[in-house]
Amino acid sequence: MNSSHPTSGQPVPRLDDLNKLATGVRRPAYQPTNHKAGIVHLGPGAFHRAHQAVYTDEALALSGGDWRIIGISLRSRAIADALNRQNGLYSLIENGADGSSVRIIGSIERVIAAVEDRQAAIAAMADPSIRVITMTVTEKAYGIDRVTGQVDMDDETIVHDLAQPQQPNGVLGLIVESLRLRWQAGHGAPTVLCCDNLPENGEVLKAGVLDFARRTDPMLADWIDEHASFPSSMVDRITPAASEETLVRCQQLIGCDDQVPVETEAFTQWVIEDRFVDERPDWQAAGVMFVPSVAPFEQMKLRMLNGAHSMLAYAGFLSGCTYVRDVMEDRNLSRLVQHHMQAAAATLQPLDGVDFDTYADDLLQRFRNPAIAHETYQIAMDGTEKLPQRLLSPAVEALASKGNYRPFAFAVAAWMRYCTGRTDSAESYVLRDPKQEQIADVLRGQETAEGIYNALTALPGLFPDPLLESAVWRETVVAILDTLLTDGVAATIAAEANRRQHQQV
Ligand code: CS2
């Protein structure tokens, strides 16, 4: 530890200069300021800083190039202020099974807060030296109707941005306006790389962008369709939101004050479709897998990892588990996690070179990681955005193939129980879902499992027809929900974990 450690009584220097770091801390193996920006990233939150920015940092170290990242934060200026004060530098703490390590990431050049300077954000995205636009903005930020694939005209940001396309606030509006500027200036189109947990995320984004553009200028839409590329990608790294402890721990490790450190697990994965308009950073050298089609990887990850995550978040939160690791310590819950992964794996097409049992075992290890404080409440957020791809699609397929749909029914019942907004001991919590007001409205006065089921399945566009039409699905979910409400969450979990696994209903 160097002399700047707080216990020494000396003021702690701010992380804005690599020379201020404690000796021995791993720093970028390249001179960051020797590289210009080549990427704009929308949503420079913790996940981006634990994932794409790290792959880019490694690619810069291994192969160089003008590939630093300009971040654009859409909602908060705090992250922009903090990262800019630190010259884009931040600490990455990796917590693996065999201990933790810290390193400094240098790939972020600066961050623009779009709320403060929208024109600077658009100009950065329209700059022809930016060849790749990436994003992690969460499922809800797109304003795309996932049933039609078109823009969601109930989304306020979309309505605003379509009315004033040159003053956009949202993701689609910003992308389309920056592409319009490129088109008018005669510049090339970029590769637009979605990194959110959506199935076929590149296709979804492309359809949304084209529909938005078509509503403003059909010729622009044609140009985007012909020239821009929207590869799909699967991203994976468990990254809890940083806590006070993260900041303190980081200061002890690096001897500097870092306001935006990230704590993550050792595991990381990025699979991208190899369809780039132009050059890209040497991400391959940094461990990215380039494949012709990402869909089977995405399906595996969404259904096995994220699906199990959502189930354990609702069941775990309601039974008093603060963190995922607590869930895994509970014998009954951890059995349910395993059952869920097995049922999810059974809905997948075989994937060359991947054994789903091994993948599941690795996931269980990752969920058990005692050094990762991943809150069930964090994962429980935005259920209406997550359920379709994580739980409802595999449920439809399991029902159709007469497979084991019960774990999906359990997870959906747990979500419905969670939607009531109170625990068994009547403590209330905020749902943190874009549809939370609608949910509260439809659930008002509903006390029975049947009533709650009917109200939530009537939310427009959420539940697919095959589930709405399936009597056996309905009976199963209602029965589990009824047990949750009458016997309590813990008893239901115990009963569910002890059922014979492949028993259907
Ligand atoms: C989680 C994901 O919060 C959630 O919904 O399921 O953020 C998950 O941790 C990541 O997708 C892991 O790659």
Residue whose CA lies nearest to ligand 1 atom number 6? 306
DSSP 3-state assignment of 346? coil
Query: What is the distance in A from the centroid of ligand 1 to the CA of 6?
Result: 34
217-268 pLDDT per residue, tens:
999 999 999 999 999 999 999 999 999 999 999 999 999 999 999 999 999 9
Going by pLDDT thresholds of 50, 70 and 90, the confidence category of residue 284 is very high
Rounded mean pLDDT, 35-53: 98
Q: Report the predicted TM-score, pTM, of the whole model to 2 decimal places.
A: 0.95
What pLDDT was estimated at residue 505?
A: 42
DSSP 384: H
**Ligand 1 nearest atom to the CA of residue 197, by list position:** 11
8-29 pLDDT per residue, tens:
567 899 999 999 999 989 999 9
Rounded mean pLDDT, 399-411: 98
Rounded mean pLDDT, 159-170: 98
Which of 305, 337, 382, 389 gets mutated to test ligand 1 (max ligand atoms within 8 A of its CB)?
A: 305
Mean pLDDT score of the chain: 96
Side chain identity at 77, as an amino acid letter?
A: R
Q: Can you tell me the distance from the alpha carbon of 306 to that of 379, in angstroms, rounded to the nearest whole number?
A: 9
pLDDT at 165 over 60: yes
455-488 pLDDT per residue, tens:
999 999 999 999 999 999 999 999 999 999 999 9
Quickly tell me which residue has 């770091």 as its tokens.
21
DSSP 3-state assignment of 446? coil
Pocket of ligand 1 (CB under 6 A): 197, 236-238, 306, 309, 378-379, 386
**Ligand 1 nearest atom to the CA of residue 237, by list position:** 13
DSSP 188: P
What pLDDT was estimated at residue 280?
A: 97
Cβ contact 66:77 at 8 Å: no
**Of 225, 79, 93, 204, which is closest to residue 152 (Cα–Cα)?**
204
**Of 88, 129, 133, which is closest to residue 111 (Cα–Cα)?**
88
Query: What is the distance in A from the centroid of ligand 1 to the CA of 238?
Result: 6
419-441 pLDDT per residue, tens:
999 999 999 999 999 999 999 99
What pLDDT was estimated at residue 8?
A: 56
Which of 314, 379, 387 gets mutated to test ligand 1 (max ligand atoms within 8 A of its CB)?
A: 379
Residue whose CA lies nearest to ligand 1 atom number 9? 238
Which of 238, 300, 391 gets mutated to test ligand 1 (max ligand atoms within 8 A of its CB)?
A: 238
Query: What is the distance in A from the centroid of ligand 1 to the CA of 374?
Result: 10
Q: Can you tell me the distance from the alpha carbon of 175 to that of 440, in angstroms, rounded to the nearest whole number?
A: 34
357-394 pLDDT per residue, tens:
999 999 999 999 999 999 999 999 999 999 999 999 99
pLDDT at 3 over 80: no
Element (DSSP H or E) covering residue 452: helix 449-457
Q: Can you tell me the distance from the alpha carbon of 489 to that of 80, in angstroms, rounded to the nearest whole number?
A: 41
Query: What is the distance in A from the centroid of ligand 1 to the CA of 54?
Result: 17
E strands of 211-312, at which residues? 233-236, 262-265, 269-273, 289-291
92-112 pLDDT per residue, tens:
999 997 899 999 999 999 999
What are the structure tokens assigned to 56, written together?
């880019």
Return the bridge partners of 95, or none: 100, 265
Going by pLDDT thresholds of 50, 70 and 90, the confidence category of residue 5 is very low
**Ligand 1 nearest atom to the CA of residue 379, by list position:** 3
For the chain, count helices (H), then strands (E): 23, 11
What are the structure tokens assigned to 354, written together?
């991947």
Rounded mean pLDDT, 328-347: 98
- Set out the domains of the chain in order of their start, with CATH numbers: 21-243+259-291 (3.40.50.720), 295-497 (1.10.1040.10)
